[in-house]
Structure 1
Amino acid sequence: MAQPQEPNELKQLLETQEDITTSSLKRSRSPEVQEGTDASPAPKKLRKCPTEDEDNNDQVFFKEGFKCLHKLGEGTYGSVFKLIENTTDQVFAYKISRITDEFDQLTVHKEIKALKTLKGHKNIVLFLESDHSDNEVGLLLEFVDHNLREILTVQNEKGSVMLAEWMKSLIQDLLTGLAFIHSNDLIHFDLKPCNLLVCSKGTLKIADFGLTELREDRPFEFEKTTESYRPPECYQRPELMDTSVDMWSAGVIVLELVTGEVVVSKSQGWHRAGLLATLYGCKGNFNRLSEVLGHKDSPPPKLSSNFKDRASASLTSLVKRLLRCNPEERLSAEAALGHKYFQESPSGSLPDVASLLSKK
């Protein structure tokens, strides 16, 4: 397990990072130079300013030169806001993480390191720069229009099924992003639909790297993953946790793309994970799962038949290879991209997301 960093390590990371200028920022951001130092840029301090959101009147730290439009969401370690730059009218996402102890420092340290390592890949949300106050760190990110949970919810409300071409494109984007993450010896550990962003042109981008770990820091605590997307080994054999954890989560997400349903509720935990492995991944019966994990139990009721009705034979094969109960038998992201599902018709294509999300 990685040891907590010294209290000043996060500050040092922020104060020595380079000022990032990309094509996403229409104007250059001049580095602020501290007196008595060389030309290394100092981090930009956050200031308190009101949000335009009438339902959220609390004063929050935001960047100079930006106006907050509204809060996009809130998680365990902080909140995400939608900002607009005053001089260009460009919009950005701004994640503010609360720093209350060394664990929080370590968490945001890892997130920044991961985002900088993965910066520039088309299926990874783009990190631009960071700022800090005494007890908060802000991450400026590209703004992406939607997340996958939102899309699945709207389609379920409309009673519609996701287009096969777009589903294939989303799965391919997810696996391509994962292959890049894993090639850098990182494990995401928090893959779920709300952390998968979808731009207006239909491209998927992986986001929220707050729980990301280096493979070399094993073993990990099983509680790191969201329970609904947690593989069986997390419950009984956490020493086996590796990049295969992300591949299980990807398999569950594919099930949700096909069925339009949340297939594992938080209250079902280990029992439901065992069922998924039995129905979609294991050869044989539920006893194989018990054999691999050293656990005895009986299977709960069967899943919805929506998957069998909607999935092609090749997609069913891919899901089975992702939901193997033995993590060593699961496909890697790179191997999954070579599966026959991606060679068969229809080929992946991108839709007009706005029209698909229309309430009409």
Structure 2
Amino acid sequence: MSCPLDKERPCRSVECYERLNFIDEGTYGRVFRARDIQTGQIYALKQVKLGNDRDGFPVTALREISTLFSVNHPNVVRLREVVVGSTTDKIYLVMEYAEHDLLSLLERMKCPYSASEIKSLMQQLLRGVAHLHDNWILHRDLKPSNLLLTGQGVLKVCDFGLARNYGDPLSKYTQGVVTLWYRAPELLMGSTLYSTAVDMWAIGCIFAELVLMRPLLQGKGELDQLAKIASMFGAPSEKCWGGFSKLPNSRRVSFRSYGEGNFIEHFYEGTGCTRRLRTSKNAIDLMQSMLLYDPEKRISAADALRHPYFSERPSPKDPSLIQTFPDDRRGT
């Protein structure tokens, strides 16, 4: 069998790798920790889930392969090659290995990340996403479990099963993307014309989660997610979101009972004279610029990297000094 993207170059066999242990199973395939038998190098081996797709190779896998082969950035996971098993229904992606994902780290941590560590992680995330956007790629599923962290503290964006190339003018896409807690309001309101701003909303949610050590918006369904957004940021309207009244779901959902919102209150701790912000005012300002209702006004990844937050003290910590744990993906 030849590689899905290159009929002139045959794929190597998966037997070139020794499977060490199972790591995880997601929507689009199972992931193993594996060793290259020839070099001894450790990789992540992702078995593509073909299911009962009568159309052949699944479009999600094709998107992931084409996206990863088209980008090259230290903060985006690297695809080394595609290998095949003994039968045509066994196809694997050999990807750069990282010891952790951000979600598992947040769940295990007893002490929150320091201000300088959060700044380093956000800087790396924005650099990776800025590179994707510069190459006309929407990730469409940014969340802590899709952010890997190496033992050297390097953050890498992964899982491109929902990624899409976009263009100008924009095309219509499905609104059923991005995990609910990180889904932008335009998607929840039924918009099929969207762009890089959906990734920026998700990054704003991740930023807040790093500071609070819990997800910012934990809706139980789409309507509840919209309610939580309105409670935190106030009721959406034409005043703060041009074109809001023309969105498909604008007449189906009422926001009349919501006031101005209480976003900043979530970042205060203590009471009375001990009440203080958990983070800097510049950090709050950057979050708010990512979490604006109007996607046209939401900050871009490139502009976010130039925000005063990254130049104020403390400076971003060197990635190699970010707190981490022993490899939690190594088998017992």
Fold match by TM threshold 0.5: yes
Residues in 2 aligned to 1:357 and 1:230: alpha-carbon distance in whole angstroms: 29
Aligned match of 1:126:
78
Residues in 2 aligned to 1:251 and 1:208: alpha-carbon distance in whole angstroms: 19
Give the secondary-structure state (helix, strand or coil) at the position aligned to 1:222.
Answer: coil
CA contact (8 A) 1:124 1:206 kept: yes
Residues in 2 aligned to 1:165 and 1:299: alpha-carbon distance in whole angstroms: 35
Aligned match of 1:307:
267
What per-residue deviation string (whole Å, max 9, x for no partner) do you get for residues 102-131 of structure 1? 38522211111100111x311010110002
Q: What aligned pairs does 1:48-197 form with structure 2 within 5 A after superposition?
A: 63-99=14-50, 100-101=52-53, 102=55, 105-118=58-71, 120-132=72-84, 133-155=87-109, 158=110, 160-197=111-148
What per-residue deviation string (whole Å, max 9, x for no partner) do you get for residues 60-93 of structure 1? xxx1132111111101121111001223322110
Percent identical residues: 31
Match of 1:220 among 153, 166, 173: 173
Residue 241, structure 1, aligned to residue 241, structure 2: no
Unaligned runs of 5+ in 2: 269-276, 327-332
Give the secondary-structure state (helix, strand or coil) at the position aligned to 2:314.
Answer: coil
1:14 CA drift (Å): 3.5
Structure-2 change in CA distance of 1:270 and 1:304 (3 Å): farther
Q: What aligned pairs does 1:23-34 form with structure 2 within 5 A after superposition?
A: none
- Matched residue pairs, number? 301
Residues in 1 aligned to 2:136 and 2:230: alpha-carbon distance in whole angstroms: 26
Give the secondary-structure state (helix, strand or coil) at the position aligned to 2:173.
Answer: coil
CA contact (8 A) 1:185 1:214 kept: yes
CA contact (8 A) 1:264 1:273 kept: no
Residue 334, structure 1, aligned to residue 316, structure 2: no
Residues in 2 aligned to 1:111 and 1:329: alpha-carbon distance in whole angstroms: 29
Residues in 1 aligned to 2:153 and 2:119: alpha-carbon distance in whole angstroms: 11
Residues in 2 aligned to 1:327 and 1:197: alpha-carbon distance in whole angstroms: 27
1:219 CA drift (Å): 1.2
RMSD: 2.6
CA contact (8 A) 1:191 1:249 kept: yes
Unaligned runs of 5+ in 1: 1-9, 17-39, 46-62
1:205 CA drift (Å): 0.6
Give the secondary-structure state (helix, strand or coil) at the position aligned to 1:80.
Answer: strand
Match of 1:350 among 314, 318, 323: 318
CA contact (8 A) 2:289 2:298 kept: yes
Amino acid in structure 2 at the alignment position of 1:123: N
* TM-score, scaled to structure 2: 0.82
Residues in 1 aligned to 2:263 and 2:299: alpha-carbon distance in whole angstroms: 23
Structure-2 change in CA distance of 1:273 and 1:202 (3 Å): farther
Structure-2 change in CA distance of 1:137 and 1:12 (3 Å): closer
What per-residue deviation string (whole Å, max 9, x for no partner) do you get for residues 227-258 of structure 1? 11101111224133211100000000001000
1:166 CA drift (Å): 1.0
Residue 251, structure 1, aligned to residue 204, structure 2: yes
Residues in 2 aligned to 1:351 and 1:211: alpha-carbon distance in whole angstroms: 28
